[in-house]
Amino acid sequence: MRILAGLLVIGLIWTAGLFAFADRLSRLTPAPLPEAADGVVVLTGPGSNARLDAGMAVLEAGLARRLLVSGVNREASREDIRLVSKAARRLYDCCVDLGFTAADTLGNARETAEWARAMRFRSLIIVTADFHMPRAMLELKTALPDLELRSYAAATPALDARRWRETRSGARLMILEYSKYMAVLARETIRSLKPGGDAPRKESP
């Protein structure tokens, strides 16, 4: 009986967290352009066109000196990315870098960290999909604890965070992303409890 009660409590806490996570996502978009930073990073993934559009808008507005597109498909050429982003060639040729090593969010964080350190940047604007932003910021703040990170979320057409329960695909994506976010949070919490570990960093996109 106690085991059943314990599982019920865990289930209720998990469900409450899921709804809080969805509410958080619903407030990320639409978002005004962020404050200026040294660089802007676009994390590729589902809905990459919207992410690239948002990243180029930041660059074109003069809010960052350079842009990194992280996690580019190895088969894509530099010209392919320019055409998808609809970037002006002058701006694209001078100020856009492509990263081909990242295959997941952790890889994005590592690729971004290497780029930011090479550029000696102290602040970054992070562009990714709204549903992906909390997990991305958690990974990036772990990889770049000394940098100032600002989020700029792109809306995901396939997921309305205000109505995610109304479709099977929306519910599946929300639950999957929340589970991934909690896994990263648990990993960092466990790591912080080890001797010499840092306290878990709070993140607020």
* pLDDT tens column, 24-68: 999 999 889 999 999 999 999 876 889 999 999 999 999 999 999
Per-chain mean pLDDT for the chain: 90
> Tell me, what's the pLDDT at 204?
41
Helix boundaries (H) for the chain: 2-26, 48-60, 78-85, 89-95, 105-119, 133-143, 168-193
CA distance 108 to 48: 14
- pTM for the full predicted model: 0.88
Segment 67-92 mean pLDDT:
92
> Tell me, what's the pLDDT at 194?
79
Residue 113: count of CB within 10 angstroms of its CB: 18
> Tell me, what's the pLDDT at 85?
87
pLDDT in tens, 181-192: 999 999 989 988
The DSSP secondary structure of 155-192, one letter per residue, reads P-TT--TTSGGGSHHHHHHHHHHHHHHHHHHHHHHHHH
CA distance 73 to 58: 22
Burial class (CB in 10 A: 0-12, 13-18, 19+), 203: buried
Q: Give the residue extent of every domain in the chain.
A: 27-158
Taking alpha carbons only, the member of 140, 138, 148, 153 closest to residue 203 is 138
Bigger pLDDT: 122 or 205?
122
- For the chain, percent of residues with pLDDT exceeding 70: 95
Residue 196: pLDDT band with limits 50, 70, 90:
low
Give the least confident one: 5-9, 128-132, 176-180. 5-9
Bigger pLDDT: 162 or 154?
154
> Tell me, what's the pLDDT at 198?
61
| pLDDT over 60 (residue 203) | no
| pLDDT over 70 (residue 205) | no
Taking alpha carbons only, the member of 61, 17, 23 closest to residue 40 is 61
| pLDDT over 50 (residue 202) | no
What is the token pair recorded at 180? 């991934």
> Tell me, what's the pLDDT at 86?
85
What is the token pair recorded at 112? 């971004």
CA distance 33 to 57: 8
pLDDT in tens, 82-114: 998 888 899 999 999 999 999 999 999 999 999
Residue 202: count of CB within 10 angstroms of its CB: 7
Write down the architecture of domain 27-158 according to CATH: 3-Layer(aba) Sandwich (3.40)
